[in-house]
Amino acid sequence: MVEFEIVPHCGVFLHYQGDYGGGRFVWSQLIQNNEATVSSVFQFRRNDLRVEPNEEEQADLDSFDFAFSFALPDGDYWRIEGRKLDLNDHDVLITKQSFPWARKMFAAYRNVSIFRRIAKLMAHGDIYIGGEHPGAIPLVLFEEMCKKFPNSTELDHYANARVAAIVGDYLAPNHDLRNRFEAYVSKRKSRQTPAAPLPELLYQNEIEKYALIRDTIQAWLAEGAKRSELDWQKMILGFLPLIFPKYIAVLENIHVDDFYSEPGSVKDRKLDLGLVDANGHLDVIEIKRPFDDVLLRKVLYRDNHVPTGDLLGTIMQAEKYLFHLSKWGVAGEKKLTERYAGQLPEGLTIKITNPKALLILGRDQKPEGGQAVSPAGLFDFEIIKRKYANMLDIITYDDLLRRLDRVIAALQCRAAHSKPAAPPPP
């Protein structure tokens, strides 16, 4: 049995009483080796004992209370010498505020030393738990980590699954041990305390943000064709990182080297707009004016709706940009990174890795209301979009509005569920 005693201004003492010969074993180790392992994870020397057993007490060592000096005060922390936890290069400093002193905070199931596991991830230096030290592990996170250490049942399932994986090619196990392991881990995780819900104010701010974007686009669409294509590009690009959070930078007037249009020479191609995601990968975006007659031709081809010349031309233009970007390769990555370094976060480099294009154009709704494209046309248009899905994402302005409406509705639903339950009536 292990218990801890906190003596203010003096230190923390570990009290140990060993059953079934544990006390005799600890005392014999202290006499013979001047040190002993206590409760499998603590290491003490003889001079750590507060009081040694006298001759009478040595007759019944399993009842003797071994009181070891465990931690000493160090400012706002209790300092534990690394050797007492079998750590070579680390002392452990534990906050004096509300730390739950118990063996389970030092040893997990099957006597796994928690601090030895942490020390394996650190090169050197002390380990701080809680308190105001800048490198401290927050106490709440440390307690949660201790709860998540695998228990005996999980370790058994894991060991069985590993053995089954090794011998499975030679023997036929009578149980699906791997699935048992996965099912147990999933069940155990589901019982853990769920994360705290996001504050209602945060949801409300997100709802207002997306509502502003939606209302602005709707207002512009209501004005018809008054705005130029450049105006539409500037407006959409202003909102783009909010609509598509994966992108963190918008690059304008990108000059791309074309090695194929004129063999033997390099032609300069100008790409109006590019998008850089959080990992530096470059994509292409084309933003056209929201006309309602640029998606499908009015005349059917053998009872099929086919794309207009404007849509095919935009797709072809985007595909050529993607082709030349991909062929530019490493040299292009280096040149673009140098050219746009001032618009990128420090240390981020542009990467050209299977770039994709985002096309925002056209309408499937009429400005005065009603569908601009028939249901059969919408079905064929979806087939057209999916044909190019590996390279292009074709979005109409009405599709963009529908996406925003659904995001707002989803956030409103989550905000409603995040509200604390009303107290029961008195």
Question: Tens-of-pLDDT digits for all 426 residues of the chain?
Answer: 899 999 988 999 999 988 777 888 999 999 999 999 998 899 999 999 999 988 888 888 888 899 999 999 999 999 999 999 988 888 999 999 889 999 999 988 778 888 888 888 776 789 999 999 988 889 988 888 888 776 666 666 555 555 555 554 544 555 555 566 566 666 655 555 555 555 677 888 888 889 999 999 988 888 866 788 888 888 888 888 888 888 988 998 889 888 888 888 888 888 888 999 999 999 999 988 888 788 888 888 888 999 989 889 999 999 999 899 999 889 999 999 999 998 988 889 999 989 999 999 888 888 777 788 888 989 998 999 899 888 889 999 999 999 999 999 998 888 887 665 555 555
Say if 259 falls within a structural domain.
Answer: yes
What one-letter code names the amino acid at 256? Answer: V
Instruction: Judge whether 362 and 238 are in contact, CB under 8 Å.
Output: no
Does a structural domain hold residue 195? Answer: no
Asked if the structure places residue 426 within a domain, the reply is no
**252 shares its domain with 364:** yes
Predicted TM-score of the model (pTM)? 0.53
Closest among 88, 87, 70 to 79, alpha carbons compared: 70
Cα torsion 381, 299, 357, 288: sign: negative
Residues 167 and 304 in one domain: no
Whether residues 215 and 349 fall in one domain? yes
pLDDT the model gives residue 170: 47
Which of 167, 190, 213 is the endpoint of a domain?
A: 190
Gap between the Cα atoms of 39 and 103, Å rounded:
9
Paired tokens of 314: 């935009």
359: closest CA among 275, 300, 252, 254?
275
The residue type found at 23 is G
Is 424 contained in some domain?
no
Do residues 145 and 161 share a domain?
no
Task: Name the domain boundary from 135, 167, 190.
Answer: 190
Using alpha carbons, list the distances in angstroms from residue 90 to 36, 106, 328.
20, 15, 50
CA pair distance 87, 79, nearest whole angstrom: 13
Q: Which of 274, 281, 271 is nearest to 250 (CA)?
A: 274
**Both 24 and 96 in a single domain?**
yes
107 and 15 inside one domain:
yes
Q: Are 356 and 392 in contact (CB under 8 A)?
A: yes
CA 283 to chain centre: 23
pLDDT of residue 171: 45
- Inside any domain, residue 367: yes
Q: Are 401 and 217 in contact (CB under 8 A)?
A: yes
Q: Residue 187: what pLDDT?
A: 63
C-alpha to C-alpha distance for 184 and 219, rounded to whole angstroms: 53
Amino acid letter, 107:
A
Q: Are residues 186 and 212 in the same domain?
A: no
Are 177 and 205 in the same domain?
Answer: no
Size of the chain in residues: 426
Quick one: 261 and 327 in the same domain? yes
Residues 360 and 282 in one domain: yes
Contacts of 275 (CB under 8 A, 6+ apart): 240, 244, 247, 249, 250, 251, 282, 283, 284, 285, 358
Pairwise CA distance, residues 360 & 53, whole Å: 83
Q: Are residues 128 and 222 in the same domain?
A: no
Instruction: Supply the pLDDT for residue 409.
Output: 92
Q: How many domains, in total, are found in the chain?
A: 3
Specify whether the CB–CB gap between 364 and 398 falls below 8 A: yes
Say if 344 falls within a structural domain: yes
Q: DSSP letter at 48?
A: G
Residue 420 belongs to a domain: no
For residue 71, which of 100, 49, 44, 93 has the smallest C-alpha distance? 93
* Residues 94 and 186 occupy one common structural domain: no
Q: Strands 92-95 and 42-45: what pairing? A: unpaired
Burial class of residue 31 (count of CB atoms within 10 Å of its CB; 0-12, 13-18, 19+): exposed
Which of 190, 213, 241 terminates a domain? The answer is 190
CB-based contacts of 6, cutoff 8 Å, min separation 6: 12, 101
The answer as to whether 132 is a domain residue is yes
Domain that includes residue 205, residue range: 201-415
